[in-house]
Amino acid sequence: MLHRNFRAPEGGEVDLVCRDGDTLVFAEVKTRVRSSELSRPADNVTPEKERLVARGALAWLRLLGDPDIEFRFDIIEVILPPEQPADITVNEAAFSLPKGWRY
pLDDT confidence bin for 89, thresholds 50/70/90: very high
In DSSP terms, which residues pair with 16 in a beta bridge? 4, 27
The predicted model scores a pTM of 0.93
CB 34 within 8 A of CB 81: yes
Mean pLDDT across the stretch 75-86? Answer: 92
Q: Which CATH number covers residue 58?
A: 3.40.1350.10
Let me know if residue 36 belongs to a domain.
yes
Q: What is the pLDDT of residue 37?
A: 62
Sheet order of strands, 13-20 included: 3-7, 13-20, 23-32, 70-79, 87-95
CB 78 within 8 A of CB 32: yes
Which range marks the domain in which residue 80 is found?
3-95
Q: What is the pLDDT of residues 12-65, one digit of tens each?
A: 999 999 999 999 999 999 998 876 667 889 999 999 999 999 999 999 999 999
Give CA–CA dist 10/43, Å, rounded: 26
Number of domains in the chain: 1
